[in-house]
């Protein structure tokens, strides 16, 4: 009997192992996960634990106020951590968020993991050059809360100034008084919200107010206000009133430089009328967003991507400063762009240029189930790569 005990123990161990394996197999059968759910469960679950750690909003808001604009709050360490420092090889995936919709939809959307920059649209320009100190349609507090949550992922927050509705008001900046109003109020809204920079959506173009020659009659005005946004107003005004520094002087020690981007029509370099772009803009901005979705016909997409951009745009604006724009759903103008325009913009933007841009995340999330954001994000391998920190064990 004693001789059989080792055999009996082996049999019992094998039986126990088989039972445990059977439980595992049984409990993992019939788990009806879609492919998207599987990806979210198995990929997003491996995201930075600091971002996924539950924390009451009142406490998080208070903690975030102690972090600077290039930092995120790490609940695991109860400390502000540095976001990744910008590098020349970083790729941009910027999305517009139109503030007539609740920005919580952007914060809670899983495809936002691909986004590197949010353009908050719009801070409009008045006929006197004054930039509105609140975004269109929505409450300041709600926008600030959304910005705070997005900063937890090191996503940059940029105010987009202008928009098609107020394009004619940019012509007022030929006046010195309107120019001063524009610069001081644009910088004020950056300070108020803690934005990381400014996107200029000046859609004046060859309008009658420019005598149908934008480059000659309005281009110098643009170069002037872009310079002042960088450098500020360096002179005494009437009455001895001094207007403060530009974004470069506003930059606190240790913080990254404020961003400045420019939106450009896709036909601006077309022959024989073009180019309608002032080269003085190029050194003043970090990148130029090509609004490719404003092309007049679907046939122009391939021609622009394959010929016009590399041959006409790049000699004036380096490839490292070009961001290719795409649209989603209601954000697309007639005629509707070709089916692969979002993928092409994102892939080519990542491989050949600075990145891509979407007009707009609002349309895409509300009406298109974020399909463009998912396609574009994956196509260009976009997203902020949060740093890893060792845990105290």
Which CATH number covers residue 152? 3.20.20.80
My answer on whether 181 and 229 are in the same domain is: yes
> Between the CA atoms of 15, 17, 19 and 24, what dihedral angle is there, to the nearest 10 degrees?
-170
Q: Quote the percentage of the chain above a pLDDT of 90.
A: 68
Q: Within this chain, do residues 61 and 180 fall inside the same structural domain, yes or no?
A: no
Lowest mean pLDDT among 123-132, 196-205, 221-230, 239-248: 239-248
For 47-56, 81-90, 216-225, which range has the lowest pLDDT when averaged over its residues?
Answer: 47-56
| DSSP notation for 361-387 | HHHHHHHSTTHHHHHHHHHTT-S--PP
Tell me, yes or no, whether 323 and 292 share the same domain: yes
Q: Does 23 map to a domain? A: no
Burial track 188-218 (b if 16+ CB lie within 10 A, e otherwise): ebbeebebbbbbbbbbbbbbebbeeebbebb
Residue 16 has pLDDT above 80, yes or no: no
Question: What integer is the mean pLDDT of 23-50?
Answer: 46
Q: Given a cut of 80, is residue 2 above it in pLDDT?
A: no
Neighbours of 280 (CB within 10 A): 15
Angle between helices 219-231 and 176-193 (to 10 degrees): 40
Residue 91: per-residue pLDDT: 98
For residue 162, pLDDT beyond 90: yes
Total of domains in the chain? 2
Single out the residue in 82, 103, 125 at which a domain terminates. Answer: 82
CB 261 within 8 Å of CB 289? yes
- The residues, any chain, with a CB within 8 Å of residue 35's CB and separated by 6 or more, are none
pLDDT(23) > 80: no
pLDDT of residue 68: 94
The domain in which residue 58 lies consists of 53-82
* All residues at 6 or more sequence positions from 18 whose CB lies less than 8 Å from its CB, including other chains: none
For the ranges 167-176, 184-193, 207-216, 346-355, the lowest mean pLDDT is seen at 207-216
- Which range is least confidently modeled, 106-120, 180-194, 327-341, 362-376? 327-341
pLDDT at 297: 84
User: 278 and 364, same structural domain?
Assistant: yes
- The answer to whether 153 and 113 have CB atoms below 8 angstroms apart is yes
Contact indicator for 33, 41 with CB cutoff of 8 Å? yes
Using the structure block, give the residue that is written with the tokens 């590098």: 87
**Mean pLDDT across the stretch 62-71?**
90
- For 214-234, what is each residue's pLDDT tens digit? 999 999 999 999 999 998 765
Q: How confident is the prediction for the chain on average, in pLDDT? A: 87
């Amino acid at each position: 009997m004693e001789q059989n005990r080792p055999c009996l123990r082996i049999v019992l161990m094998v039986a126990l192992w088989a039972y445990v394996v059977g439980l595992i197999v049984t409990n993992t059968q019939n788990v009806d996960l879609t492919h998207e759910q599987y990806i979210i469960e198995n990929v997003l679950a491996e995201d930075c634990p600091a971002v996924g750690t539950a924390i009451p909003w009142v406490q998080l808001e208070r903690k975030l106020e102690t972090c600077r604009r290039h930092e995120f709050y790490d609940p695991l360490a109860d400390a502000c951590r540095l976001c990744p420092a910008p590098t020349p090889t970083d790729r941009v995936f910027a999305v517009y968020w139109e503030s007539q919709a609740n920005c919580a939809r952007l914060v809670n959307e899983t495809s936002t993991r691909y986004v590197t920059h949010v353009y908050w649209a719009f801070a409009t320009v008045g006929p006197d050059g004054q930039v509105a100190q609140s975004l269109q349609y929505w409450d300041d507090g709600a926008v600030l809360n959304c910005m705070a949550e997005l900063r937890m992922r090191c996503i940059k927050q940029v105010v987009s100034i202008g928009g098609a509705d107020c394009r004619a008001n940019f012509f007022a900046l030929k006046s010195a008084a309107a120019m001063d109003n524009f610069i001081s109020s644009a910088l004020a809204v950056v300070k108020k919200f803690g934005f990381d920079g400014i996107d200029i959506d000046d859609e004046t173009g060859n309008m009658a107010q420019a005598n149908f020659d934008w480059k000659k009659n309005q281009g110098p005005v643009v170069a002037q206000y872009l310079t002042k946004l960088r450098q500020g107003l360096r002179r005494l005004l009437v009455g001895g009133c001094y207007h403060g520094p530009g974004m470069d002087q506003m930059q606190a020690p240790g913080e990254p430089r404020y961003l400045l981007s420019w939106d450009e029509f896709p036909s601006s370099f077309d022959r024989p009328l073009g180019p309608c772009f002032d080269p003085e803009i190029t050194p003043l901005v970090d990148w130029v967003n090509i609004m490719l979705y404003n092309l007049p016909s679907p046939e122009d997409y391939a021609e622009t991507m394959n010929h016009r951009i590399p041959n006409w745009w790049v000699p004036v604006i380096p490839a490292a400063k070009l961001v290719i724009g795409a649209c989603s759903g209601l954000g697309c103008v007639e005629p509707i762009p070709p089916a692969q325009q979002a993928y092409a913009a994102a892939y080519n933007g990542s491989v050949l240029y600075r990145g891509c841009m979407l007009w707009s995340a609002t349309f895409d999330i509300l009406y298109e189930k974020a399909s463009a954001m998912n396609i574009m994000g994956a196509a260009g391998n976009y997203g902020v790569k949060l740093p890893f920190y060792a845990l105290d064990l």
